[in-house]
């Protein structure tokens, strides 16, 4: 897996055409890893970009393309994967992820208080049915690898115990103010790759996902100080730190100067040991993508999704 990928979630702000243009531009300057998902509603346009990229001479084998099955399709994993392959104009995916461990979903642009009427908690037997369908995709050669996203240690422990084909990666929120050290170490200890989403702290996330408690990584004085010393934008420093720490960051950007800077930064001179220590010390345990819409009962808080006391609530 290439050490940095380009995120493709255009949020409410960027059109599929803008994101597809960023994919073309990023491939042109050296990106080979793209993080897609059916729920981002832009796989058709990105598929056009992938076709162009390959026509321009980049071999399919040099690309790493990830997609994800959305929560409304846990019972139709194969159909979802086939649709993503058609949209992305590919014969296979390098990695296919279960986007969230819950089958609960919501209409686009809804408020965080929205709940799907038949919302359920995590039910391991149901997840394993979804996982068996994920395994069948590997058997059929439609995907090279399968993985998880937004999992916790208790849920991963159950999956690792019961799976036939192991997840190779867990995609999880990771940035200086949300380092998830326990989950990060657990994922690595299982030989899995932590893929870090929102590595810059997702400054352009939808307004509905912002709360007054959220902190801003790129304004942290330690990040600003080190970035200034190195002549980098604080966002670029966050991406560089992520890669050097051992996760695979997938920053979103539609701005050529920014996605170029992020790629150059991960290829450049490493941060010092002291820089790495200083950034390790600014973790604020500040989860930004809380997942409220995936809750299954009234009067719950988003913490119920994340097994904070080591058990999975039912």
* CB environment 184-218: b (16+ within 10 A), e (fewer): bebbeeeebbbbbbbbbbbeebeeebeeeebbebb
Q: How far is the CB of 214 from ligand NAP (least distance, A)?
A: 13
Kindly state the smallest distance separating residue 112's Cβ from ligand NAP, in Å.
15
Q: Which of 12, 34, 17 is nearest to 84 (CA)?
A: 34
Question: Given the complex with ligand NAP, which of 37 and 312 has the nearer CB atom?
Answer: 37
Nearer to ligand NAP, 80 or 253 (CB): 253
Minimum distance from residue 248 beta carbon to ligand NAP (Å) = 11
Q: At a CB cut-off of 8 Å and minimum separation 6, what does 240 contact?
A: 232, 262, 265, 266, 268, 271
CA 104-217-38 angle, to 5 degrees, is: 30
> Tokens representing 174?
């990771």
Interacting residues with ligand NAP (CB under 6 A): 7-9, 35, 99, 149-150, 171, 197-205, 233, 235-236, 250-255, 258, 261-262, 289
Decide whether 167 or 251 has the Cβ nearer to ligand NAP. 251
Q: Find the radius of gyration of the CA atoms of the chain.
A: 19
Alpha carbon distance 263, 236 (integer Å): 9
Residue closer to ligand NAP (CB basis): 140 or 174: 174
CA distance 43 to 84: 7
Residue 119: CB minimum distance to ligand NAP, A: 17
* Nearest distance, CB of residue 256 and ligand NAP, angstroms: 9
Of 164 and 224, which CB lies nearer to ligand NAP in the complex structure?
224
246 C-beta neighbours (distance < 10 Å), count = 14
CB of residue 57 vs ligand NAP: minimum separation in angstroms?
Answer: 25
In the complex with ligand NAP, the residue whose CB is nearer, 55 or 257, is 257
Report, as residue numbers or ranges, the catalytic residues: 40
Residue number of the CB closest to ligand NAP reads 7
């Amino acid at each position: 897996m290439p050490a940095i990928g380009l995120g493709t979630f255009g949020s409410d702000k960027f059109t599929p055409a803008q994101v597809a243009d960023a994919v073309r531009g990023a491939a042109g300057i050296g990106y080979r890893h793209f993080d897609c998902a059916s729920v981002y509603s832009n796989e058709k346009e990105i598929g056009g970009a992938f076709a162009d990229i390959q026509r321009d001479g980049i071999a399919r084998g040099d690309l790493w393309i990830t997609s994800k099955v959305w929560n409304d399709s846990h019972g139709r994993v194969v159909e979802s994967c086939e649709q993503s392959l058609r949209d992305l104009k590919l014969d296979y995916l390098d990695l296919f992820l279960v986007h969230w461990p819950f089958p609960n979903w919501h209409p686009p642009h809804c408020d965080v208080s929205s709940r799907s009427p038949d919302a359920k908690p995590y039910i391991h037997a149901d997840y394993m049915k979804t996982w068996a369908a994920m395994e069948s995709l590997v058997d059929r050669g439609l995907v090279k690898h399968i993985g998880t996203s937004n999992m916790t240690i208790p849920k991963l422990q159950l999956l690792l115990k019961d799976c036939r084909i192991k997840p190779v990666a867990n995609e999880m929120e990771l940035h200086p103010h949300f380092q998830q050290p326990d989950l990060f170490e657990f994922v690595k200890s299982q030989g899995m790759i932590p893929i870090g989403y929102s590595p810059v702290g997702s400054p352009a996330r939808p307004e509905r996902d912002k709360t007054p408690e959220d902190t801003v990584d790129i304004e942290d004085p330690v990040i600003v100080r080190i970035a200034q010393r190195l002549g980098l934008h604080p966002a670029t420093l966050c991406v560089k730190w992520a890669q050097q720490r051992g996760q695979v960051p997938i920053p979103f950007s539609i701005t050529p100067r920014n996605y170029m800077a992020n790629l150059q930064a991960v290829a450049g001179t490493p941060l010092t040991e002291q820089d790495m220590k200083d950034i390790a010390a600014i973790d604020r345990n500040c989860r930004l993508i809380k997942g409220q819409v995936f809750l299954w009962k009234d009067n719950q808080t988003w913490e119920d999704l994340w097994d904070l006391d080591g058990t999975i609530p039912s």
